[in-house]
Amino acid sequence: MLRIGLFLATNVAVLVLLTIIFQIFGIEQYFYQQGVDINLTGLLIFCAIFGMAGSLISLLMSKWLAKRGTGCKVIEKPGNQVEQWLVDSVARLSKKAGIGMPEVAIFPSPQPNAFATGYSRNNALVAVSTGLLDNMRQDEVEAVLGHEIGHVANGDMLTLSLLQGVLNTFVLFFARIIGIVVDRVVFKNDRGHGPGFWIVTIAAQIILGILASMIVMWFSRFREYRADIAGAQLTSRNAMINALERLKAGTQMPDTLPDNLQAFGINQGLRGGLAAMMASHPPLDMRIQALKHARL
């Protein structure tokens, strides 16, 4: 719960800081002088409630959504040697990383993949695909598990949700400011919100939302490099590099992870051009080269 408290405290701090900025620079007064009546603080609080609440709810429900979305089977009692080895490996690596024992699961997919999710370091889920277990050696699977446990230990799920919540707030906030200004200044509407406000607000929200997604995906790509290093530290550099090489062979297979879990999987298909800016993972070749030269 400490991390949830941090999530909320950070968001409140952002609101307070922006409110102070409005007052110091007289931004609200400037709009009044231009004939645009906007309560910036009230609008900001409104946008924060909706923008941040969605991210917080998604974070709290992440494990449940992951289980439903992938059809994964949580190993409550190992039924064979593979499951026993998997649970023992996660337990050993989690202890080494200093986190609580996550739930361990297997989900049906021919593509080698894995993901970790959950709202805290001590309440997480680590899942691997059947394709990963079928196509990798044990040391390579362990490296992938170390990568996912690295995500949990680094608090990546919370940080990504926090970033998404703040950006959601900004998107809603600035889209509505743009809509109000255009409605008042361009369309000369001084009573309520006219059609111009709604059209411009929706258009601005789409454009700003795309830009916000690029920022979120940039951070997602950055955290993959950190998780690769964590996987190498918890196992070995060679095992992590070999695991990434194996993942390259699976990029041509259909990606079976739901869209809301793409950023949490270890493997994402090949992407280029503009799509690369919206990718949650860097190209595997870049990850391999970065890991070869990383300080462990």
CA distance 24 to 57: 33
78 falls in which pLDDT band (50, 70, 90)?
very high
The DSSP result for the chain, as a single string, is: -HHHHHHHHHHHHHHHHHHHHHHHHTHHHHHHHTT----HHHHHHHHHHHHHHHHHHHHHTHHHHHHHHHT-EE-SS--SHHHHHHHHHHHHHHHHHT-PPPEEEEE--SS--EEEEEEETTEEEEEEEHHHHHHS-HHHHHHHHHHHHHHHHTTHHHHHHHHHHHHHHHHHHHHHHHHHHIIIIIS---SS--HHHHHHHHHHHHHHHHHHHHHHHHHHHHHHHHHHHHHHHHS-HHHHHHHHHHHHHTTTSPP-S-GGGGGGBS------THHHHT-SS--HHHHHHHHHT---
Q: What is the pLDDT of residue 32?
A: 60
pLDDT > 90? residue 188: no
Model pLDDT, residue 258: 61
Q: How confident is the model at residue 37 (pLDDT cuts 50, 70, 90)?
A: low
Between CA 294 and CA 296 the distance in angstroms is 6
Confidence at residue 99, expressed as pLDDT on a 0 to 100 scale: 95
Average pLDDT for 62-73: 89
Catalytic residue check, 148: yes
- AA identity, residue 240: M
For residues 249-258, average pLDDT: 61
- Identify the pLDDT of residue 18: 61
Q: What is the pTM of this model?
A: 0.81
pLDDT at 66 over 60: yes
- pLDDT score recorded for residue 185: 79
Residue range 273-290, pLDDT digits in tens: 556 777 888 989 999 999
What is the band of 166 on the pLDDT scale with cuts at 50, 70, 90?
confident
Render pLDDT for 15-25 as a digit per residue (tens, 0 to 9).
566 667 766 66
Range 209-224 average pLDDT: 90
Which is catalytic among the residues 140, 142, 148, 224?
148
Q: Sorting pLDDT into bands at 50, 70 and 90, what band is 250?
A: low
- Give the pLDDT band of residue 147 (cuts 50, 70, 90): very high
